[in-house]
C-alpha cells in the first residue's frame, strides 16, 4: 500500500514539474529545461513510459526554441517510440508537431507540412483545441513560406478562431504576429500595424516575454515597410536584446538579418556587414538554414555595392551552394510566390551546368569510350536529381488546380506553362550530346503558332518586371495560323533569347517581334526577332558567343554568370530547322537576334472529345518510392480517382508486400536503397506471389532507364517524372482495364 502511494506521489510530482516547466518557458527557459530534465529523471526511475515520453516532448520543444534542431528531433523520435508502444495518440501528435516544426524551420517545408498535418488530424480527433490552434498556426506559416498566401490566411484565421473558442489570448496573439507579416506582403500596412500592436498588448497581459520580442520584431517590419527607419531599427535592436536574454537563437538571427537589410538600405556598409555576419554565425552554428541563405545573399549584396567583387563572389557561391543543398534534400521551397519557381530553377540549372562544364574539362584527355560512358552516367544522375524535385512541383500544381479561386487559377496556369517549359528545357540540356552529335530530330505536330509565342513571352514577363524593364511583344501572326512545329525546340530557342535579353539589360526595354514575311501554298516564312537595349557585344566577342561554354567576360566581372551553353544550343536548334541565327549588336546600345523559320501549314487544331476511360474507383495500386514527398503527392493524385494505395519505401519491402495482397497495378521507382526497382521487379516476376502477373510500371526521373533494354523488358511500360497527370490517368485506366502486357510510356 505504501509502495502504491509513493508511486502516485512520484507521478503527481512529475506532472507538477512538467506543468511548471511549460508555464515558465515564456520568461525563464533555463528553468524550464531544468524542471523537464528533473521530470525525465524521476519518470525514468519509476519506469513510467507515458511520463518519460511527455518529458522528452517538452525537452524537444525547448531544444527547438534554442535552435538545437538535431537534439530536438532526437528527443521527439525517442518519445514516439514510447507513445506507439502505449498507443497514446496525443503524445504521438505532440512529437510530430515538434518534428514538423523543426523541418519547416530548416527549410524542409513539404516534409514539415506532412508531419504538422498528421498532428492536426489527431488533435481534431481528440478535440484538443489548444494544440489544434498551435498546429494550424504552424501550417499557416509553412503555406506563407512557400507563397500560398490564400491557404496561409485560411490557416491563420482558423487558428485564431479556435484560440478564441478556448479564450487563450496568448495563442491568439502568436497568430497575429504571423498575420501581420502576411498583411505587409499584401500591402495592407495600416491593418498590419493595428494587428501587431494589438498582439503586443496581449503579450504584455500574458507576460510572454519571448512572444513579446517576436511582436516587437513584427512591428519593426511594418515600420521598415513604411520607411520609418529609426523606429524599425529600435524595434529590431530591442527584439534582439530580449531574444539574447532568453537564449532564443532563431529570433536573434532573424532580428540581425533585418538590421543588416536596414543598414544596407542606408548605405551603412560596415554596420550592415558586421551585424549580418553575427546573424550568419548564429545560423551556421545552429543550422538555421532559412536565415543562413538570407544572410549569404545579403553579404553578397553588401560586398557587391561596396565594390569588393571577389568577396561578393565568395558569398554568392555560398548562397548558391546552400540553396543547392536545400534542393538536394528534397526541400525545394516554392519561394514567396509561384512565379519565382522558374527563376529558382534557372539558377539551380546554371549551377548544375557549371558542374557539367568542369566534368567535361577534367575528362577531355580520356579516350572516347570512357568519355561517352561518363557523359551518359552524368546525364542519368542529373536527370534524376533535377526531375525528382520538378515532379513535386508539377504534381502540387495538379492538386492545387481545383482548390483555388479564379485569380489564383490564372497564376497556376502561368506556373503550369513555365514548369512544363522548364521540364522541356531540362530535357534538351540533359540531351546536349545528342544535339552536338547531330542525332537530334525535329518532332513536328500541329500548333497554333501565335498562341505558342504568346505563352513563351508571358513566361518571362515577370522576370522583366522584377528588373524594371519595359517588355514589348509584337506578335503579328494571325490567331488561326496553324503550322507543323516542334514546340519544345521553338520554346527553347525563344526562351533562351528572351531570358538572355532581359538578363543583359539593366534599363530600357526588350522587344519580341514575330511576323510572316512570305506566304506560299504549303509553307510560310516567319521572321522572329528579339531586341534589347542592354550592354551590347563587342565585334571581337561576336564570333565567340555561339561557341559551347563560351563566356564573353571573365566570371569575376560578369554580373549575370551562366555557363555559356544557352546561345550554343540556340544555334544548333535553329540550324536543325535549316535556318541561321544572326545578330546585330553595338556595345552600350544593345543587341538584336533574328532568324527565319520555314513552317509547313497544317489544318486548324480541333479539340477532340475526351475519350471514355475506365472507372478506377476502388482499384488497388502499390507505390514503391523512397522519397516520402513524391509518394505523398502521388497518393493524393490517385485518391482523387478513387484508387486505394499502399506505399513502401524500397524494393525489398515491395517484394514482401506482394506476398500477402493482390494489386491491380504497381508503380515502381528505379533508384532506391536496400533493393532497386529492377531487382524488386525481377523477384516479383520470377518468384511465386499474388502479383507475378500484375502490370508493373517503372516510374523514374532517370531519362537513361529505357536504354537498359534487358531490365526494361521486366516492366509493362515507363512513366517519366515529372508526371503528366492526364497521361498517367490514361495509362492506369487502359492498363487496369485490359490487364495485359501492352506498353505505354509518358
CA Rg value for the chain: 29
Tell whether the model's pLDDT for residue 328 goes beyond 50: no
Cis amide bond preceding 271, omega within 30: no
* Average pLDDT estimate for 593-616: 73
* Average pLDDT estimate for 612-633: 80
Residues 500 and 571 in one domain: yes
Residues 364 and 427 in one domain: yes
C-alpha cell at 447: 500548333
Give the pLDDT band (50/70/90) at residue 29.
Answer: confident
Counting the structural domains of the chain, the total is 5
Cα–Cα distance, 462 to 453 (Å, whole number): 16
Say which range, 237-241, 623-627, 705-709, has the weakest mean pLDDT. 705-709
* Residue 242 DSSP code: H
The reported pLDDT for the residue numbered 269 is 92
Say which range, 91-100, 141-150, 289-298, 349-358, has the weakest mean pLDDT. 349-358
Residues 544 and 633 in one domain: no
Question: Which of these three, 406, 436, 466, is where a domain ends?
Answer: 436
The reported pLDDT for the residue numbered 343 is 42
The reported pLDDT for the residue numbered 398 is 63
Give the pLDDT band (50/70/90) at residue 593.
Answer: very high
Higher pLDDT, 729 or 578: 578
- Tell me the CATH number at 476: 3.30.565.10
E strand map for 103-156: none
From residue 208, how far is each of 24, 211, 631 by CA, in Å?
9, 5, 40
The reported pLDDT for the residue numbered 95 is 93
Residues 561 and 584 in one domain: yes
C-alpha cell at 7: 508511486
Closest CA to 648 of 673, 682, 616: 673
Cα–Cα distance, 337 to 340 (Å, whole number): 6
The reported pLDDT for the residue numbered 442 is 83
> Do the strands 509-519 and 470-475 form a parallel or antiparallel pair, or are they unpaired?
parallel
Q: Is 108 helix (H, G, I), strand (E, B) or coil?
A: coil
Q: Is 674 helix (H, G, I), strand (E, B) or coil?
A: coil
Tell whether the model's pLDDT for residue 330 goes beyond 50: no
Place of cell 510500371: 697
Q: Is 111 helix (H, G, I), strand (E, B) or coil?
A: helix
Question: Which of these three, 336, 355, 374, is where a domain ends?
Answer: 336
As beta bridge partners, residue 647 has 623
The reported pLDDT for the residue numbered 743 is 38
Number of H helices, E strands in the chain: 30, 12
Q: Is residue 70 part of a domain?
A: no
* Residue 338 DSSP code: G
- Tell me the CATH number at 172: 1.25.40.10
The reported pLDDT for the residue numbered 402 is 61
Percentage above 70 pLDDT, the chain = 76
Q: Each residue of 458-488: pLDDT tens digit?
A: 878 877 887 888 888 898 888 888 999 998 8
Tell whether the model's pLDDT for residue 351 goes beyond 50: no
Q: Is 408 helix (H, G, I), strand (E, B) or coil?
A: helix
As beta bridge partners, residue 446 has 484
**Which of the listed ranges 137-141, 328-332, 353-357 does the model predict with the highest average pLDDT?**
137-141
Percentage above 90 pLDDT, the chain = 33
pTM: predicted TM-score of the whole model, two decimal places = 0.43
- Asked whether 517 and 525 are in contact (CB, 8 A), the reply is yes
* Residue 745 DSSP code: B
**Burial letters for 12-41: b for 16+ Cβ neighbours within 10 Å, e otherwise?**
eebeebbeebbebbbbebeebbebbebbbe
Cα–Cα distance, 347 to 365 (Å, whole number): 30
Residues 449 and 590 in one domain: yes
The reported pLDDT for the residue numbered 271 is 94
Q: Compute, in degrees rounded to 10, the torsion defined by CA atoms 680, 684, 686, 691.
A: -170
* Average pLDDT estimate for 99-121: 84
Q: Is 483 helix (H, G, I), strand (E, B) or coil?
A: strand
Q: Compute, in degrees rounded to 10, the torsion defined by CA atoms 492, 493, 494, 496.
A: 70
Tell whether the model's pLDDT for residue 514 goes beyond 90: yes
**Burial of 598 per CB tally in 10 Å (0-12, 13-18, 19+):** middle
DSSP secondary structure, 245-289, as one string: HHT-HHHHHHHHHHHHHHHHHTT-HHHHHHHHHHHHHHHHHTT-H
Place of cell 512544363: 420
Residues 592 and 455 in one domain: yes
The reported pLDDT for the residue numbered 710 is 65
Q: Is residue 309 part of a domain?
A: yes
Say which range, 314-318, 381-385, 410-414, 592-596, has the weakest mean pLDDT. 381-385
Tell whether the model's pLDDT for residue 78 goes beyond 70: yes
Whole-number mean pLDDT of the chain? 80
- Asked whether 434 and 440 are in contact (CB, 8 A), the reply is yes
Q: Within 10 Å of residue 245's Cβ, how many Cβ atoms?
A: 14
**Which of the listed ranges 323-327, 358-362, 389-393, 579-583 does the model predict with the highest average pLDDT?**
579-583
What is the CA angle 343-344-347, rounded to 5?
90
Q: Is 63 helix (H, G, I), strand (E, B) or coil?
A: helix
Q: Is residue 257 part of a domain?
A: no
- Asked whether 162 and 129 are in contact (CB, 8 A), the reply is yes
What is the CA angle 259-267-468, rounded to 5?
95
C-alpha cell at 603: 489544318
Residues 449 and 573 in one domain: yes
Q: Is residue 45 part of a domain?
A: no
C-alpha cell at 661: 495482397
End-to-end CA distance of the chain: 72
* Average pLDDT estimate for 496-523: 90
The alpha carbon dihedral of 646, 648, 654, 659 has a sign of negative
Q: Is residue 12 part of a domain?
A: no
Residues 304 and 382 in one domain: no
Cα–Cα distance, 457 to 471 (Å, whole number): 9
- Asked whether 400 and 412 are in contact (CB, 8 A), the reply is yes
- Asked whether 21 and 35 are in contact (CB, 8 A), the reply is yes
**Burial letters for 635-651: b for 16+ Cβ neighbours within 10 Å, e otherwise?**
bebbeebebebebbbbb
> Do the strands 717-720 and 696-700 form a parallel or antiparallel pair, or are they unpaired?
parallel
Which domain does 195 fall in, by range? 149-247
The reported pLDDT for the residue numbered 377 is 56
Q: Within 10 Å of residue 503's Cβ, how many Cβ atoms?
A: 19
Long-range CB pairs of 149-157, under 8 A, 24+ apart, other chains included: 149/182, 149/185, 149/186, 149/337, 150/404, 150/405, 150/408, 152/182, 153/179, 153/182, 156/182
Q: Is 137 helix (H, G, I), strand (E, B) or coil?
A: helix
- Tell me the CATH number at 663: 3.40.50.2300
Residues 272 and 364 in one domain: no
Residues 470 and 596 in one domain: yes
Tell whether the model's pLDDT for residue 415 goes beyond 80: no
Tell whether the model's pLDDT for residue 741 goes beyond 60: no
Q: Each residue of 688-704: pLDDT tens digit?
A: 888 888 899 988 766 55
Q: Each residue of 180-206: pLDDT tens digit?
A: 988 998 889 999 999 999 999 998 888
Q: Is residue 118 part of a domain?
A: no
Question: Which of these three, 291, 306, 336, is where a domain ends?
Answer: 336
Place of cell 494489386: 663
Residues 496 and 377 in one domain: no
Q: Is residue 58 part of a domain?
A: no
Q: Is residue 157 part of a domain?
A: yes
Q: Each residue of 141-175: pLDDT tens digit?
A: 888 877 788 888 989 999 999 999 999 998 899 89
Cα–Cα distance, 115 to 535 (Å, whole number): 49
Residues 330 and 345 in one domain: no
Amino acid at each position: 500500500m505504501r509502495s502504491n502511494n509513493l508511486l502516485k506521489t512520484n507521478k503527481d510530482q512529475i506532472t507538477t514539474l512538467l506543468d511548471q516547466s511549460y508555464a515558465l518557458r515564456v520568461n525563464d527557459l533555463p528553468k524550464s529545461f531544468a524542471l523537464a530534465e528533473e521530470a525525465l529523471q524521476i519518470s525514468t526511475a519509476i519506469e513510467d513510459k507515458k511520463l518519460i515520453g511527455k518529458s522528452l516532448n517538452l525537452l524537444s520543444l525547448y531544444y527547438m526554441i534554442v535552435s538545437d534542431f538535431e537534439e530536438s528531433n532526437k528527443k521527439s523520435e525517442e518519445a514516439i517510440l514510447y507513445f506507439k508502444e502505449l498507443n497514446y495518440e496525443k503524445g504521438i501528435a505532440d512529437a510530430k508537431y515538434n518534428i514538423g516544426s523543426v523541418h519547416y524551420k530548416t527549410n524542409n517545408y513539404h516534409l514539415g507540412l506532412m508531419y504538422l498535418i498528421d498532428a492536426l488530424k489527431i488533435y481534431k480527433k481528440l478535440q484538443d483545441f489548444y494544440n489544434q490552434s498551435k498546429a494550424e498556426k504552424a501550417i499557416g506559416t509553412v503555406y506563407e513560406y512557400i507563397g500560398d498566401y490564400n491557404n496561409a490566411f485560411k490557416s491563420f484565421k482558423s487558428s485564431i478562431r479556435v484560440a478564441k473558442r478556448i479564450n487563450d489570448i496568448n495563442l491568439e496573439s502568436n497568430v497575429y504576429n504571423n498575420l501581420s507579416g502576411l498583411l505587409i506582403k499584401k500591402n495592407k500596412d495600416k491593418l498590419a500595424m493595428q494587428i501587431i500592436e494589438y498582439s503586443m498588448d496581449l503579450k504584455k497581459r500574458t507576460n510572454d516575454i519571448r512572444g513579446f520580442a517576436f511582436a516587437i520584431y513584427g512591428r519593426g517590419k511594418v515600420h521598415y515597410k513604411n520607411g520609418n527607419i529609426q523606429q524599425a531599427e529600435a524595434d529590431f535592436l530591442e527584439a534582439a536584446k530580449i531574444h539574447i536574454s532568453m537564449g532564443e537563437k532563431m529570433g536573434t538571427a532573424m532580428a540581425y538579418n533585418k538590421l543588416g537589410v536596414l543598414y544596407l538600405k542606408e548605405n551603412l556598409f560596415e554596420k550592415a556587414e558586421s551585424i549580418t555576419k553575427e546573424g550568419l554565425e548564429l545560423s551556421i552554428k545552429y543550422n538555421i538554414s532559412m536565415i543562413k541563405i538570407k544572410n549569404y545573399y545579403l553579404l553578397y549584396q553588401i560586398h557587391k555595392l561596396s565594390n569588393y567583387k571577389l568577396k561578393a563572389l565568395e558569398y554568392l557561391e555560398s548562397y548558391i551552394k546552400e540553396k543547392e543543398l536545400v534542393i538536394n534534400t528534397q526541400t525545394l521551397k516554392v519561394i514567396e510566390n509561384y512565379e519565382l519557381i522558374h527563376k529558382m530553377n534557372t539558377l539551380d540549372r546554371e549551377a548544375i551546368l557549371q558542374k557539367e562544364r568542369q566534368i567535361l574539362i577534367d575528362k577531355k584527355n580520356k579516350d572516347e569510350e570512357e568519355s561517352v560512358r561518363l557523359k551518359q552516367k552524368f546525364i542519368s544522375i542529373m536527370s534524376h536529381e533535377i526531375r525528382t524535385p520538378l515532379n513535386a512541383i508539377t504534381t502540387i500544381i495538379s492538386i492545387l488546380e481545383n482548390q483555388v479561386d479564379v485569380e489564383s487559377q490564372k497564376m497556376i496556369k502561368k506556373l503550369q506553362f513555365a514548369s512544363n517549359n522548364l521540364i522541356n528545357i531540362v530535357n534538351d540540356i540533359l540531351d546536349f550530346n545528342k544535339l552536338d552529335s547531330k542525332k537530334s530530330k525535329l518532332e513536328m505536330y500541329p500548333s497554333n503558332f501565335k498562341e505558342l509565342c504568346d505563352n513563351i513571352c508571358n513566361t518571362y514577363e515577370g522576370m522583366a518586371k522584377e528588373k524594371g524593364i519595359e517588355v514589348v511583344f509584337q506578335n503579328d501572326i494571325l490567331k488561326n495560323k496553324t503550322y507543323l512545329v516542334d514546340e519544345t525546340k521553338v520554346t527553347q530557342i525563344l526562351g533562351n533569347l528572351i531570358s538572355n535579353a532581359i538578363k543583359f539589360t539593366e534599363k530600357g526595354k526588350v522587344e519580341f517581334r514575330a511576323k510572316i514575311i512570305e506566304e506560299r501554298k504549303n509553307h510560310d516564312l516567319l521572321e522572329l526577332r528579339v531586341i534589347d537595349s542592354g550592354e551590347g557585344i563587342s565585334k571581337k566577342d561576336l564570333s565567340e558567343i555561339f561557341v559551347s561554354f563560351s563566356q564573353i567576360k571573365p566570371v569575376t566581372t560578369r554580373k549575370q554568370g551562366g555557363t555559356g551553353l544557352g546561345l550554343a544550343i540556340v544555334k544548333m536548334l535553329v540550324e536543325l530547322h535549316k535556318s541561321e541565327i544572326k545578330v546585330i549588336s553595338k556595345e552600350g546600345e544593345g543587341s538584336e537576334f533574328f532568324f527565319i523559320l520555314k513552317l509547313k501549314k497544317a489544318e486548324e487544331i480541333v479539340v477532340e472529345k475526351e475519350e471514355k476511360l475506365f472507372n478506377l474507383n476502388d482499384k488497388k495500386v502499390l507505390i514503391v518510392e523512397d522519397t516520402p514527398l513524391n509518394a505523398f503527392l502521388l497518393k493524393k493524385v490517385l485518391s482523387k480517382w478513387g484508387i486505394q494505395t499502399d506505399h513502401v519505401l524500397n524494393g525489398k519491402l515491395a517484394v514482401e508486400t506482394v506476398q500477402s495482397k493482390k494489386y491491380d497495378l504497381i508503380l515502381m521507382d528505379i533508384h532506391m536503397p536496400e533493393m532497386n526497382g529492377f531487382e524488386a521487379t525481377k523477384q516479383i516476376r520470377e518468384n511465386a506471389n499474388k502479383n507475378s502477373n500484375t502490370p508493373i510500371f517503372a516510374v523514374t526521373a532517370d531519362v537513361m532507364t529505357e536504354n537498359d533494354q534487358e531490365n526494361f523488358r521486366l516492366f509493362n511500360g515507363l512513366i517519366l517524372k515529372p508526371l503528366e497527370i492526364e497521361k498517367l490517368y490514361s495509362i492506369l485506366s487502359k492498363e487496369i482495364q485490359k490487364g495485359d502486357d501492352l506498353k505505354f510510356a509518358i
